[in-house]
Copies of this chain bind each other. A is one copy, B any other.
């Protein structure tokens, strides 16, 4: 018997039949004796329609009115799901963000949660009532509805789990868990039973788009145990079901490398022949930061004749803007030319165990060299080693590394 939060995304509640299926899954947990809160998204397609209407009326619409319109998607789902639950004999009631309330800041459209009043929810859950909660929304300081931005329902679910002191937050998705790498590239990728918050953050930010990054950060801060599992899987729930995202202390046998992630949305920029003097890097990255260009990996070549090259990576979508910003600042920075390459992929090996193991990077470089893959940029952190390679080597590199670290399924 435990208190759990279950979260279902838009695909899982896309029509009345799927809402009935979700209700039946919730009933299963109630019958196992659990106290249940459910967080749901809008029915798939609804939010897009509502957003399209707002944009058609005004490209620069008032974000407060946008939130008023868009929040109706989740409101519809919670009402319908509560009805579906009652119909199969499960006591339930719906909750909108303003009713709980889930208080947020005033950043309409991209609000951040400040607090959730959990006492009434807990009292009712203890009395056997399922709380069906609208994700993605809250109440701003001006008593108006706010939304958390796309994908915010994951974050809502984790925040609710913290507020009701749930033992676990189950995120139902269209995959059955977190894998050692993308199974479309490596068919022998293995589903992980447990992954540490820090690992999940690295895996999420570099390509495994299962959980919203903010939701993982929140789970880590609030120590909420998150489980990722499939909303379409049949059969009983077992300890093998899904993947648990937890504190690394809960992971007894820490893998040196847990997974291989990749991101194709990268571009490489090299600023050639700049003066090798103190403050030159600051001048480049200062102008980029001022224009909201996020820079990821950075390397600086050894200096020759007082001149050096600086190479860095950015999101590919930012490439034209980056070039323009740098050209504009050329008089103050002083450089010979800018070289850019949009055809690059970042590949990362991730694992909390690598903190205490040497040789992780060496294995990586050897494995890539064996396949004659040239490494363009390298960066490392405590639990990650990333390299930039030409995009055409993506699959080859991911497969080689997956084997090199012994991650292939038997």
- What residues of chain A have their CB less than 8 Å away from a CB belonging to chain B? 16, 19-20, 50, 53-54, 56-58, 61-62, 64-69, 71-72, 75-76, 78-80, 82-84, 86-87, 93-94, 96, 98-99, 143-145
Contacts and interface: CB of A to CB of B under 8 A. Distances in A.
A86 B66 CA distance: 12
Contacts of A56: 16
Which one of A76, A93, A98, A144 has the greatest number of beta carbons of chain B within 10 Å?
A76
A53 B77 CA distance: 10
Contacts of A61: 83, 86-87
A94 B68 contact: yes
Contacts of A96: 68, 145
Nearest to A144: B99
A79 B69 contact: yes
Contacts of A72: 72, 75-76
Contacts of A80: 53-54, 57, 65, 69
Nearest to A55: B83
Given A68-B96, A144-B99, A58 B76 contact: no
A58 B79 contact: no
Contact of A57 (B20, B65, B69): B20
Contacts of A53: 16, 76, 80
A299 B131 CA distance: 56
Contacts of A79: 54, 65-69
Given A75-B75, A76-B72, A144-B99, A66 B54 contact: no
B82 A75 contact: no
29 contacts: A16-B53, A16-B56, A16-B57, A19-B57, A20-B57, A50-B76, A53-B76, A54-B79, A54-B80, A54-B83, A57-B84, A58-B83, A58-B84, A58-B86, A58-B87, A61-B87, A62-B83, A65-B79, A65-B80, A65-B82, A65-B93, A65-B94, A66-B83, A68-B75, A68-B78, A68-B96, A71-B75, A72-B76, A99-B143
A16 B171 CA distance: 36
Contacts of A64: 93
Nearest to A23: B57
Contacts of A87: 57-58, 61
A75 B134 CA distance: 15
A369 to B, nearest CB: 57
A56 B17 CA distance: 10
A86 B69 contact: no
A141 to B, nearest CB: 14
Given A57-B83, A68-B75, A96-B145, 4 more contacts: A53-B76, A61-B83, A65-B80, A68-B94
A288 to B, nearest CB: 34
A84 B68 CA distance: 14
Contacts of A75: 68-69, 71-72, 75
B82 A62 contact: yes
A94 B69 CA distance: 10
In the A-B complex, the 3 residue pairs with the smallest Cβ-Cβ separation, listed nearest first, are A69-B79, A68-B79, A72-B72
Nearest to A84: B57
